[in-house]
Structure 1
Amino acid sequence: MKTYNALIEPASLSHKIYAADEVRQHEPQAAKQAHLNMYELMERAGHAAFRQLLASFPTCRRVLVLCGHGNNGGDGFVFARLANEAGMEVCLVATGDSQKYSADTRQAQQKWQSSGGKTHSWPLSLANHDVIVDALLGTGIKGQVRAPYRDIIAALNQQTIPVLSVDLPSGLHADTGVPCGIAVNATITITFVGIKQGLVTGAGKQHCGKLSFNALGITQSFSQLATPTALLASADRLPALPPRPLNTHKGSFGRLLCIGGNQGMHGAIRLSAEAALRSGAGLVKVLCHPESHALVAEGLPELMLAAASDDIEPLLNWASCIVIGPGLGQDNWARTLFDALLKYQMRAEKPMLIDADGLNLLAPPGPSTLPKNCILTPHPGEAGRLLEQSTADIQSDRYQAITSLTEHYQSVVILKGAGSLVSSTQQVFVLEEGNPGMASGGMGDLLSGIVGGLMAQGMDTANSALTGACIHARAGDLCAEKQGQRGMIASDLIPFIRELVNR
Structure 2
Amino acid sequence: MSMQMNSCRLYSAEQVRQHEPSAAQAAGVSMFTLMQRAGQSTFTYLRKRWPKARRIIVAVGVGNNGGDGFIVAALALQAGLDVALCVVQPERAFAGDAKRAAEQWLELGGQCLAADDVDFDAADVIVDALLGTGLSGEVRAPFVDIIARINASSTPVLSIDIPSGTHADTGAPVGISVQANATITFVGVKLGLVTGLGRQLCGELVFNDLGIRETFRPLASSSARLLYFSDAPTLPPRLNNAHKGANGRVLCIGGGEGMPGAIRLTAEAALRSGAGLVKVYCHPHSQPSVAAGRPEVMVSADDLMQMIAWASCIIIGPGLGRSEWSERVVRETIDALKLADKPTLVDADGLNLLVKMKLSVPSSRLIVTPHPGEAARMLDCDISSVEQDRFRAVKDIADNFNATTVLKGAGSLISDGKDCWVCAEGNPGMATAGMGDVLSGVLGALIAQGMSLTDAALRGVCMHAAAGDLAAQQGQRGMIASDLFPYLRQLNN
For this structure pair, what is the TM-score category when the shorter chain's length is used for normalisation? over 0.9
Q: C-alpha offsets along residues 53-76 of structure 1, whole Å, 9 cap, x if unaligned? A: 111111111111001011000000
Q: In 1, distance between residues paired with 2:361 and 2:299? A: 30
Q: In 2, distance between residues paired with 1:236 and 1:96? A: 46
**Aligned counterpart in structure 2 of residue 494 of structure 1, from 473, 485, 488:** 485
Q: C-alpha offsets along residues 188-212 of structure 1, whole Å, 9 cap, x if unaligned? A: 1000001111111111111101000
Q: C-alpha offsets along residues 282-330 of structure 1, whole Å, 9 cap, x if unaligned? A: 0000000011111100011111112424xx2221111111000001111
**Aligned counterpart in structure 2 of residue 31 of structure 1, from 24, 41, 44:** 24
Q: Are the aligned partners of 1:168 and 1:189 in contact in 2 as well (CA < 8 Å)?
A: yes
CA change 1:359–1:435 in 2 (3 A) is: same
Which amino acid in 1 is paired with 2:276?
G
Q: In 2, distance between residues paired with 1:242 and 1:63? A: 53
Partner of 1:335: 327
Which amino acid in 1 is paired with 2:74?
R
**Aligned counterpart in structure 2 of residue 45 of structure 1, from 38, 51, 57:** 38
Partner of 2:97: 104
* Residue 396 (str. 1) matches residue 388 (str. 2): yes
Equivalent position SS for 1:294:
helix
Which amino acid in 1 is paired with 2:478?
G
Q: C-alpha offsets along residues 28-72 of structure 1, whole Å, 9 cap, x if unaligned? A: 111111111211111111111111111111111111100101100
Cα offset, 1:13, TM superposition: 8.4
Partner of 2:58: 65
**Aligned counterpart in structure 2 of residue 413 of structure 1, from 405, 408, 417:** 405
Cα offset, 1:336, TM superposition: 1.4
* Residue 190 (str. 1) matches residue 184 (str. 2): yes
Equivalent position SS for 1:363:
helix
Structure 1 length-normalised TM? 0.95
Q: Are the aligned partners of 2:163 and 2:202 in contact in 1 as well (CA < 8 Å)?
A: yes
Partner of 2:298: 304
- Report % sequence identity: 52
Which amino acid in 2 is paired with 1:325?
G
Partner of 1:6: none
Q: In 2, distance between residues paired with 1:331 and 1:127? A: 55
Q: C-alpha offsets along residues 392-433 of structure 1, whole Å, 9 cap, x if unaligned? A: 110010000000001111110000011110111342111111
Q: Are the aligned partners of 2:60 and 2:70 in contact in 1 as well (CA < 8 Å)?
A: yes
Consecutive unaligned residues of structure 1, counting only runs of 5 or more, are 1-11
CA change 1:190–1:198 in 2 (3 A) is: same
Equivalent position SS for 1:133:
strand
Q: In 2, distance between residues paired with 1:302 and 1:402? A: 35
Equivalent position SS for 1:127:
helix
Q: Are the aligned partners of 1:14 and 1:194 in contact in 2 as well (CA < 8 Å)?
A: no
Partner of 2:253: 259
Partner of 1:92: 85
Which amino acid in 2 is paired with 1:385?
R
Q: In 2, distance between residues paired with 1:128 and 1:225? A: 44
Matches within 5 A, 1:193-342: 193-309=187-303, 312-342=304-334
**Aligned counterpart in structure 2 of residue 126 of structure 1, from 120, 131, 153:** 120
Q: C-alpha offsets along residues 417-465 of structure 1, whole Å, 9 cap, x if unaligned? A: 1111011134211111111111111110000000011111111111111
**Aligned counterpart in structure 2 of residue 362 of structure 1, from 326, 345, 354:** 354
* Residue 353 (str. 1) matches residue 331 (str. 2): no
* Residue 176 (str. 1) matches residue 170 (str. 2): yes
Equivalent position SS for 1:176:
coil
Cα offset, 1:348, TM superposition: 2.5
Q: In 1, distance between residues paired with 2:360 and 2:337? A: 14
Matches within 5 A, 1:442-461: 442-461=434-453
Which amino acid in 1 is paired with 2:480?
I
Structure 2 length-normalised TM? 0.97
Which amino acid in 2 is paired with 1:405?
I
Equivalent position SS for 2:122:
coil
User: Cα RMSD between the aligned structures?
Assistant: 1.4
Cα offset, 1:239, TM superposition: 4.6
Partner of 2:75: 82
Partner of 1:142: 136
Cα offset, 1:98, TM superposition: 5.2
Q: Are the aligned partners of 1:70 and 1:100 in contact in 2 as well (CA < 8 Å)?
A: no
Partner of 1:5: none
Cα offset, 1:169, TM superposition: 0.4
Q: In 1, distance between residues paired with 2:136 and 2:391? A: 19
**Aligned counterpart in structure 1 of residue 154 of structure 2, from 140, 157, 160:** 160
How many residues are aligned here? 488
Q: In 2, distance between residues paired with 1:179 and 1:280? A: 41
Which amino acid in 2 is paired with 1:57?
W
Q: Are the aligned partners of 1:62 and 1:90 in contact in 2 as well (CA < 8 Å)?
A: yes
Consecutive unaligned residues of structure 2, counting only runs of 5 or more, are none
Q: C-alpha offsets along residues 114-165 of structure 1, whole Å, 9 cap, x if unaligned? A: 1121111111211321111000000111121111111111001111111110
Cα offset, 1:185, TM superposition: 0.7
Q: C-alpha offsets along residues 453-484 of structure 1, whole Å, 9 cap, x if unaligned? A: 11111111111111111111111111111x20
Q: Are the aligned partners of 1:338 and 1:358 in contact in 2 as well (CA < 8 Å)?
A: yes
Deviates more, 1:65-74 or 1:123-132: 123-132
Q: Are the aligned partners of 1:64 and 1:129 in contact in 2 as well (CA < 8 Å)?
A: yes
Q: In 2, distance between residues paired with 1:347 and 1:461? A: 20
Cα offset, 1:340, TM superposition: 1.8
CA change 1:362–1:488 in 2 (3 A) is: same
Q: C-alpha offsets along residues 340-369 of structure 1, whole Å, 9 cap, x if unaligned? A: 212222343211100000000111551256
CA change 1:284–1:401 in 2 (3 A) is: same
Partner of 1:17: 10
Cα offset, 1:97, TM superposition: 4.9
Which amino acid in 1 is paired with 2:51?
P
Q: In 1, distance between residues paired with 2:170 and 2:285? A: 45
Q: In 2, distance between residues paired with 1:102 and 1:326? A: 58
